[in-house]
Structure 1
Amino acid sequence: MDSGDNEVVVDFPHFIRVYKNGRVERLFGSPIVPPSPEDPATGVSSKDIDISPEFKARIYLPKLTNSITDQKLPILVYYHGGAFCLESAFSVLDHRYLNRIVAESNVIAVSVEYRLVPENPFPVAYEDSWAALQWVGSHVEAKPGFEKEPWLVNHGDFEKVLIGGDSAGGNIVHNLSLRSGSESLNGGIKILGSLLCFPYFLTSIDFKEDSLPSKLWRFVNPSTKDGVDDPNINPFVEKAQSLSTLGCSKILVCVAEKDELRNIGIKYAEAVKNSEWKGEIELIDVEGEDHCFQIFDTETEKAKNLIKEIASFIKKSCV
């Protein structure tokens, strides 16, 4: 073995390590689990699907509560967290969480397994996430050769599409919401609601260069000349696309008291509210909790309450 094989070139203790030979060791994350024909706790069914030759998704269908076999449900396209370099749509944490969200909200969810840094250079995560949203829209007017997903065809309401995500997933939701404000989506679908839980935003004012979130961002996006003032991670800089162009009707931002990203999430909600964007925005601030707490343990009282509030937002957005 070449001695360079064990040489570490990037090291974030407890998170991720990259070796000189390109090997990546992820130190943070939860085990991968298979989909469930029927989750015993929620009755939600799930299966894995190919979005493209490059990446997959896990689709969730709630237990149908009546005898109408063609019941139409809102569609939630979901993006997991992990600083663009960690975790998976197929992890036990995200699988359990999506089961809860789907059961409580009575939606079909498409949880996207976008490709991660560093094996796939940024902004591949954005492109995969946009492609997944376009894939959903392609079911409206499918071209010859496009293979439709039966759960979406039989039970999806393409006039009630939402996008949501936690942490890096919340960042993805913001950037996709902006993109949908200037680019059309397949099938003419519109984003009714955007859900940003504990969104991963940074600014050079709020975060020092040597802070973990700032260093992770420079690892994720090494080609940026603006560091944490890159418009992808800092929605407040002058060169960022105007918040007034967000292409959705309603937004929910969730933050938590002990999360170091809390203040910037509140700042984002206020900036959107003060822009010329014509939609409605809500902010939920959970006392005594930390970043993405409701995913790490779905059974606490505050986690259950937040999931119910997220479900309420989804239902209100679809009225």
Structure 2
Amino acid sequence: MAGDTPPHVVEDVPGVLQLLSDGSVVRGDESVLWPKDPLPDVPGVKWKDVLYHAAHALSVRVYRPESSSSVTGSSKLPVLVFFHGGGYCIGSYTQPHSHTYCLRVAAELPAVVLSVQYRLAPEHRLPAAIEDGKAFLLWLRGQAELGAGGTADRWLAESADFARTFMSGSSAGANLAHHVTVHAASTQTQLAAHPLRVAGYVLISAFFGGADRTAAEVNPPLDVTLTVDGSDMLWRLSLPVGASRDHPVANPFGPESPSLTPMDLPPVLVVAPESDVLLDHVLGYAARLREMGKAVEVAEFPGERHGFSGLQPFGEAANKLMRILRRFVYAGSARPTGL
């Protein structure tokens, strides 16, 4: 109609993502967000993409070291599931820095690494990504069952020790890893004899939120990679329309969030960079779990910023993280219990 006004921009991640007033989404080139320095090669790791959800055309990138002997001498390797970051709105399992991080983890732990694709908002608002994470867990459980008979994906059947599975992620991927681990805890009692066991989980720069501002949000550190305004916008773009930052996906301790006290959660490694507006949310998460008697390890990184492990996958902080991750995974591998 002649009187209609054209759609206008409602939310804008400059050059990367725009939400228009009619609900349509315009996406640009996400490479503008990432450092331009070339990434070194990581030799000795093979990788391939495998479809895990046909209906949504979602894949997982499987990384396997060419030498499949673990530090314990076993021919089978622990499994590290990795969910990429991006505020549930951007990012990809194929993004070069995420890809390089997974190559390093596979080579240096060593481990079978599974980097998971999931649907993004605002085209697919939460809990779509959470549902994808649950679907991936169901697929992985199926692979573990098939592996017992040697009919799983060949790489997984040959190299994966499903009883030593770890969930992990960075930023929004860490938030997703939390929710998938909680889901695993809520269903594991019916699967006590299942060959897949979640032995631990790792949250790097976890993307948590809350309606109330924290001290780090009121007085943010200098030169942050994620601003308070940016964090708020990503939640507006990803949460159900009209939801607050106390939504259970954003705030695991919000007024409508299920209690974690009765959950038999496995040990968690919480990675907390100091120069991050989300620092208090991350440390608060660890503190609340400790109060509940859960096994929590916190690794603080002074001076590091949100998403440092992906932004500088060969930096000194990333090297330190690899050492901590290796110890956590192989200590967890030796524990007799998990989910």
TM tier, smaller:
0.7 to 0.9
Q: 1:224 to 1:307 in 2, by over 3 A?
A: farther
Q: Higher mean Cα deviation, 216-225 or 264-273? A: 216-225
- Gaps of at least 5 residues in structure 1 are 33-38
Q: 1:314 to 1:13 in 2, by over 3 A?
A: same
State the TM-score, normalizing by the size of structure 2: 0.81
Alignment match, 1:306: 321
Change beyond 3 A, Cα 1:5–1:149: farther
Q: Report % sequence identity.
A: 27
Does the aligned pair in 2 maintain the 1:30–1:87 contact within 8 Å? no
2:136 equivalent in structure 1: 132
Instruction: Tell whether 2:330 aligns with 1:315.
Output: yes
The alignment partner of 2:166 has SS state of strand
Aligned equivalent of 1:59, options 62, 66, 76:
62
The aligned residue for residue 121 of structure 1 is: 125
Shift, 1:42, TM fit? 3.2
Contact 2:270–2:297 (CA<8 Å) still a contact in 1? yes
Secondary structure in 1 matching 2:261 = helix
1:281 and 2:296 aligned: yes
CA distance in 1, matches of 2:286, 2:267: 12
In structure 2, C-alpha distance between the alignment counterparts of 1:174 and 1:65, rounded to whole Å: 28
**Offset at residue 4 of structure 1 (A):** 7.4
Distance of aligned partners of 1:31 and 1:149 in 2 relative to their CA distance in 1, 3 Å threshold: farther
CA-atom RMSD in angstroms: 2.9
Report the TM-score when normalising by structure 1.
Answer: 0.86
Measure, in 2, the Cα distance between the counterparts of 1:269 and 1:21.
37
Q: Counterpart in 1 of 2:24?
A: 22
Give unpaired runs (5+ residues) of structure 2: 35-39, 219-227, 335-339
Q: CA deviation at 1:248?
A: 3.5
- Distance in 1 of aligned mates of 2:107 and 2:263: 28
- In structure 2, the partner of 1:149 is 153
CA distance in 1, matches of 2:5, 2:106: 46
Matched residue type, 1:71: S
Aligned length: 304
Counterpart residue type for residue 98 of structure 2: D
Any conservation in 2 of the 1:159–1:190 contact (CA below 8 Å)?
yes
**2:248 aligned to which of 231, 244, 247:** 231
From 182, 191, 199, the counterpart of 2:186? 182
Distance 1:61-1:25 versus aligned 2 partners, 3 A rule: same
CA distance, structure 2, for counterparts of residue 194 and residue 224 of structure 1: 31
Deviation for aligned residue 1:173: 1.2
For residue 297 of structure 1, the aligned residue among 295, 312, 318 is 312
1:58-77 paired onto structure 2 within 5 Å:
58-64=61-67, 71-77=75-81
- In the alignment, is residue 192 of structure 1 matched against residue 209 of structure 2? no
> 2:166: which partner in 1?
162
Distance 1:21 1:229, change over 3 A: closer
Quote the Cα distance in structure 1 between the aligned partners of 2:249 and 2:68: 41
